[in-house]
A and B are shown apart, each in its own frame.
Chain A
Amino acid sequence: MSDTPVIPAAFADLVPFAGWALPTERERYNKRIASTMDQLQSFYDTLFPRLDDAIAHIDQFPLDDLPDDAKHLLWICCALVTVSFPVEVWRQARVPDSGASSFDAVLEPAV
Chain B
Amino acid sequence: MNEQRTRQHLETEELERVAMQEGTLPAPRREHLDGCARCRRELASLEELHVALSGLPYHAPSPGFADAVMSRVDLAKPWYVQLLTRNWTPVAGVSAGALALAAIGFWTWLFTRGGVALESVLSVAAEWARTALWDLVVGAGRILVDTGIGPTAVEAAQSLTPGAAAAILAVLAVLGTLASVTVFKLMELPVPALGSARRS
Q: Do A and B come from one complex?
A: no
B-binding residues in A (CB < 8 A): none
A-binding residues in B (CB < 8 A): none
